Amino acid sequence: MKNFTSVKDVKDPGGLVKKALEIKANPFTPDFARGKRAGLIFLNPSLRTRLSSQVAVQNLGAEAIVLDIGKDGWALEFQDGVKMNGSKAEHIKEAAGVIGQYFDVLGVRTFPELKDRNTDYSEQLLNAFIKYSGLPVVSLESATRHPLQSLADWMTIEEHWKKAEKPKVVITWAPHVKALPQAVPNSFVEWMREAPVDLTITHPEGYELAEEFAGGVPVEYNQMKALEGADFVYVKNWSSYEQYGQILSQDESWSFGKEQLAVTNNAKIMHCLPVRRNLVIKDEILDGPNAIHLQQAKNRVYSAQAVFAELFR
């Protein structure tokens, strides 16, 4: 890999999942990347991604240094050719160029503004760090994808599925109080298309994902029908792609509870976190034996460690 921004950067996604599981069994290799440094650049808030990435880098023997651009750095300008007479003090060309001289690998986290679809889906911010840093870059979530989360998700499914046949995996929309990006569902669908699973997407009409991610994947607008016989259910909210960034429904009948679980094959229930209890998923599920969201979160360390191990070489 030269960078890790999507499943397309990985020659053998299944092999990377296997490597991550091997790392989980023996995570401490302090001599592997001793003397190397990873710069973890955050333009947005984070809990799991920040901590899991730091732990992953340290498990490899390298040093992780976190920079919160919003608090610790200058406001950055990303547009070319502008006269910088406003509030932005430093251009990405200089900022990323300097950062690139301090580290061996960069991790970058940025969210979409959910205002202009073309701008968000061009991945302007992530691509600028790749272009001007000159370093291998790991996406710690971007406007359109969250690949480290998706790698951990595949790991988690692999750990729980020991049968010869493919599991039925369903990703279901759920209500939320605010507009959220499509990054997690985009990425999950993209990775599951490479995995040995039967995937179905379910959501209310108007929440279709971009064709580049979901094209050809079965979509069912009746949630209960989609969930029938499911072995794994990924519950996640996202805003509309077509009516970009808009909330088209807050139908709480889509909240995942015992009624939904009852039509599945005693499915394992997944979520990337943070999760709004009793809105997205009900307490009866999150506190019950079917929920594996905390295991997903734990696997974030080993998914990141597998990726950083590849890029530190």
Q: Is 300 annotated as a binding residue?
A: yes
Give φ, ψ of 269 to 5 degrees.
Answer: -110, 130
Q: Is 274 annotated as a binding residue?
A: no
Best CA proximity match to 183, nearest among 202, 204, 208, 209: 209
Q: Is 46 annotated as a binding residue?
A: yes
Give φ, ψ of 170 to 5 degrees.
Answer: -125, 130
Q: How far does Cα 237 stand from its chain's mean position? A: 13
Q: Is 109 annotated as a binding residue?
A: yes
Q: How far apart are CA 151 and CA 312, in angstroms?
A: 18
User: What are the tokens at 29?
Assistant: 């290799």
165 Cβ contact partners less than 8 Å away, ≥ 6 residues apart: none
**Residue found under tokens 């499911």:** 230
Give φ, ψ of 173 to 5 degrees.
Answer: -65, 150
Q: Is 74 annotated as a binding residue?
A: yes
Q: Is 185 annotated as a binding residue?
A: no
Q: Is 117 annotated as a binding residue?
A: no
Q: Is 146 annotated as a binding residue?
A: yes
Q: Is 186 helix (H, G, I), strand (E, B) or coil?
A: helix
Q: How far apart are CA 174 and CA 282, in angstroms?
A: 11
Q: How far apart are CA 212 and CA 186, in angstroms?
A: 9
Q: Is 193 annotated as a binding residue?
A: no
Tell me the one-letter amino acid at 195: A
Q: Is 47 annotated as a binding residue?
A: yes
Q: Is 161 annotated as a binding residue?
A: no
Q: Is 149 annotated as a binding residue?
A: yes
Q: Is 273 annotated as a binding residue?
A: yes
Q: Is 93 helix (H, G, I), strand (E, B) or coil?
A: helix
Annotated binding site for N(2)-succinyl-L-ornithine: which residue ranges? 141, 176, 236, 276
Annotated binding site for carbamoyl phosphate: which residue ranges? 46-49, 74, 109, 146-149, 272-273, 300
Annotated binding site: which residue ranges? 46-49, 74, 109, 141, 146-149, 176, 236, 272-273, 276, 300
